[in-house]
Amino acid sequence: MYGPKFWSWGANGFTNINNLALKFKVNGHHHKGHVYISLNGLDLFDVHLTTVQGNIIEKITDLYNDQIFEVLDKKIEWIPEYKN
């Protein structure tokens, strides 16, 4: 179930960036800042983790739809003490 995990990131401030990307803010254990998700030319997703000021911290490219949540959870919030 994605809902409770997703909201544990403190996700808020969802913004559509010119129909090219989804931007939202998170406040997790590992990442505090913005997340940008966009579709690339291969019909796969790219994710950019940035500071609140917009400085890119990490780029993750060529994700399939079913990979996005797990990858983001590990980058934003997940710690080994959590049970799957």
Burial class (CB in 10 A: 0-12, 13-18, 19+), 47: buried
Query: Would you say residue 52 lies in a domain?
Result: yes
Domain count of the chain? 1
pLDDT band at 71 (very low <50, low <70, confident <90, very high): very high
**Residue at 66: amino acid letter:** D
Which domain does 51 fall in, by range?
21-64
pLDDT band at 4 (very low <50, low <70, confident <90, very high): confident
**Residue at 24: amino acid letter:** F
What pLDDT digit, counting tens, does each position of 7-57 carry?
889 999 999 999 999 999 999 889 999 999 999 999 999 999 999 999 999
Q: What is the pLDDT of residue 7?
A: 80
Residue 1 clears pLDDT 70, i.e. is over it: no
| DSSP code of residue 30 | S
Query: Would you say residue 83 lies in a domain?
Result: no
Q: What is the pLDDT of residue 82?
A: 66
Rg for the chain, CA atoms, rounded: 12
> Two tokens at 20?
């090219």
CB 57 within 8 A of CB 40: no
Query: Would you say residue 2 lies in a domain?
Result: no
**Which pTM was predicted?**
0.88
